[in-house]
Amino acid sequence: MQPSIRDTFFEECEELLEAMVEGLGIIDEGSYDSETVNAVFRAVHSIKGGAGAFGLTDLVSFAHTFETVFDEVRSERLAVTPELVAVLFRAGDQLATLVEAARDETEVEAGPRDSVVKELKRYLDEPAEPEGGAAGGNGTEPPGGFQPMTLDFSALALPAAEPVAPMRSFEIRFQPDRAMMANGHEPMLLLRALSELGTLEVSAQSDELPAFDELDPDECYLKWSMQLETDSDRAAVEKIFEFVEGLCTLEITEAEGAAPPAEAPAMAPPPVAASPAAPAGAPAPAPAESAPAAPPPPPRSRVGDDEAKGGKGSSGGANARATLRVELDRVDRLINTVGELIINQAMLSQRIAELELPKGADVEVELEDYKLLAREIQEGVMAIRAQPVKPLFQRMARIVREACAATGKSARLVTVGEHTEVDKTVIERLSDPLTHMIRNSIDHGLEKPDKRREVGKEEEGEVRLSASQRSGSIFIEITDDGAGLNRPKILEIATSKGLVPPNAELSDSEIDNLIFMPGFSTATEVSNLSGRGVGMDVVRTAIQALGGRVSIASETGKGTTLTIILPLTLAVMDGMVISVQGQTMVVPIASVLETIRPTDKDIHKVGSGEMVLSIRGSYVPIIDVASSLGMHGQSNPITKSVLILVETEQRGQCAMALDAIHDQRQVVIKSLDRSFGDIPGISAATILGDGKIALILDPDGVVQIGGSRADAGAPILQAMEFFDE
């Protein structure tokens, strides 16, 4: 089997599973109609159909049981109860597991699968099969009702070669009914197929043929008597009449030989017309000649990739082109090119600025248009990669169910803003951290049902997952209505692990954010859910790798909210162009809270040369970017500097001191990883309008180095020297 077709199958399975989960969700809410039920049925059915084609017997078998139960729901023989819905959800989860296993060619755990099969079968009249039956998976016995029809055409194709089959002789009498013609059969073709079995002698009886003016073109007036000499057996002969059985008068008699003179199979009612005959079985009529198509209706369903690849395989005309599947590579190449276009546009702008043309020169007006168009193209291209978070959110419903089952808690998942679109890569890489955070919310956040009842909450907890797009960023929030963070305990753990000095005075928010520290894990015993050796620090690292931030807010007794803030795209960002000791650099706008030109009285010295900025009644540390990065040139006095207030993970708000802010512009992110590896303080590089390379600062890293050794910036210097060449 071609891998590409197999890949398509699993891609399609993903979509079908999404449709299934969505349908089940609607059924669960109770606001469903028959089309909802049909859609779920079709999804499971299509998975089964495809799985059959690839010989995935385990998957076929399970999907079949699932589908059978669902068919009962569909035909309203089975009432929808909360218990049934729960079973259907579990079956859906199991189906997803089986699809994954089939895709990855791994084994599924038999235990959970068999128990779901058992639960499903309780809704069917058939008794639960002994283990190894439907769920056995060795494929020896397909489940009832799904017996692939194996057609053996070898007898047809091969001339009798080695063991010479005995020649047989059949007498066949055949008269088509009107219905046979109406159903698109062509007697001529049947006779031709018969003749391919051996030597066929045919005589047609045309005595029922009417006069021409009485001839009904939809009727077959002819009947045939045939003598077939063949080495094929009776089954092969009957096979030819397979589809017309019941639509004709047919007698097959085997003359002499060992076989008993068999009775005719499936005799139809007597011939219809007894009038004279005419040949009616003219070649199958072509579809109506003129028949101009009615105005094409709007596309109803998406067009699959199978049409995308070839021009001739068109179906419903141009109107059916609602979507187009494109290789990701092509899109990424396009994105890369657009990145270059943005750079080129910046360079052109710079060149034109250097010409110092009179204000309002034509070329400047046109340059503005160019900028606008470039930006539009860029946004358009980015939109191609954008996908709704819905499928991701839907998968989380399964995580919630599994986590509840493992912890004995009860929770429902509420999703908001699932149509928010996010870059495809971001969605893919968000799955793991989100899974972990949801598990955490249930494992650590929500109380057990009895506890919840005690404090006057609903026994069923709520985990709310929301997505929204605000001011150029994507916000994803995970909110639980649990007990909130246990701050004394967090502080105690952090202190005992040496993450914070004893007696440190931390604000609530600082305590809350301790859970993101590496090496912090609140689970006193390692639960099989959250405590897989990874803590929230891994979540934070994953989010940061996407150029995002994560923070937490919690209210005792009321719940906890985790907020992920992500950039809209990974390839381009809005940056603030700054300079530090003559080096041009870029700070991501997303991390800038405000810019400040401080006066003397705003700056205070504390301890050994550390400076703090007094701002609106509180103090934030000042980090000198130049010294953080290990530049040893002449530093400006802080009062001559510009400060950028940033929010950091480690130290909360900090003010980064630098020499000047030049500009705010879109920059194309170019990774440094391949050439320089991970450089603390630097996240990537970009090419500015003058063709120079500028490093993009990572404020978190800068602040962190600023708080430690002064020579930690050495690798950065190397990188800068490299680009200065």
Partner 1 sequence: MTKVLAIDDSRTIRNLLRMSLENAGFEYHCAEDGRLGVDAFPDVRPDVVITDINMPNLDGYGVIEELRRGPNATKVPIIVLTTESSDELKARARAAGATGWIVKPFDDASLISVLKRLTGHAA
Q: Which of 31, 106, 140, 147 binds partner 1 (CB under 8 A)?
A: 147
Question: With respect to partner 1, which residue has the nearer C-beta, 142 or 707?
Answer: 142
Residues contacting 176, CB < 8 A, separation 6+: 185, 187, 220, 222, 244, 247, 248, 281
Min. distance of Cβ 345 from partner 1 in angstroms? 40
| 393-452 positions binding partner 1, by CB under 8 A | none
> Which stretches within 669-710 are classed as H helix?
673-676, 699-706
At closest approach, how far in Å is the CB of 419 from partner 1?
21
Please pick, from the candidates 37, 226, 247, 250, the single residue that binds partner 1 as defined by CB under 8 A: 247
Number of other residues whose CB lies within 10 A of the CB of residue 216:
13
Q: At its nearest, how many Å lie between partner 1 and the CB of residue 267? A: 16
To partner 1, the closest distance from the beta carbon of 146 in angstroms equals 6
- Residue (236 or 539) nearer to partner 1, CB: 236
Count the alpha carbons within 13 Å of 648 in the hemisphere toward its beta carbon. Answer: 26
Q: Judge contact between 407 and 457, C-beta under 8 A.
A: no
Binding pattern for the stretch 280-319 against partner 1, x by CB under 8 A and - elsewhere: ----xxxxx--xxx--xx-xxxxxxxxx----xxxxxx--
Q: 434, 402 in Cβ contact below 8 A?
A: no
How far apart are alpha carbons 264 and 261 in whole angstroms?
A: 9
Burial class (CB in 10 A: 0-12, 13-18, 19+), 444: buried
Query: What distance in Å separates the CA atoms of residue 429 and residue 389, rounded to the nearest whole number?
Result: 12
Task: Quote the least distance from Cβ 5 to partner 1, whole Å.
Answer: 5
Question: Contacts with partner 1: how many residues (CB under 8 A)?
Answer: 69
Q: Which of 76, 203, 243, 264 binds partner 1 (CB under 8 A)?
A: 243
Q: How far is the CB of 299 from partner 1 (least distance, A)?
A: 8
Nearest to 461 by CA among 471, 448, 470: 448
Site map 88..117 versus partner 1, x via CB under 8 A: ------------------------------
Member of 79, 104, 105, 151 binding partner 1 (CB under 8 A): 151
Quote the least distance from Cβ 317 to partner 1, whole Å. 5
Binding of residue 246 to partner 1 (CB under 8 A) = yes
Relative orientation angle of helices 34-53 and 3-29, to the nearest 10 degrees: 160
* 58 Cα distance to chain centroid: 23
Region from 39-47, 133-141, 461-469, 521-529 binding partner 1, contact rule CB under 8 A: 39-47
Helix axes 424-440, 536-545, angle to 10 degrees: 170
Amino acid found at 112: P
The token pair that represents 479 in the structure block: 């909110």
Which of positions 179-238 make contact with partner 1 (CB under 8 A)? 181-186, 188-190, 192-193
151 vs 81: CA distance, rounded Å: 42
Q: Quick one: 182 or 373, whose CB is closer to partner 1? A: 182
For partner 1, the closer of residues 269 and 501 by Cβ is 269
Q: Is the dihedral of CA 160, 165, 166, 171 positive or negative?
A: negative
Q: Which of 53, 165, 255, 660 binds partner 1 (CB under 8 A)?
A: 53
Residues of this chain that interact with partner 1 (CB under 8 A) are: 2, 5, 8-9, 11-12, 38-39, 41-42, 45-46, 48-50, 52-53, 55, 145-151, 153, 156, 181-186, 188-190, 192-193, 240, 242-243, 246-247, 284-288, 291-293, 296-297, 299-307, 312-317, 320
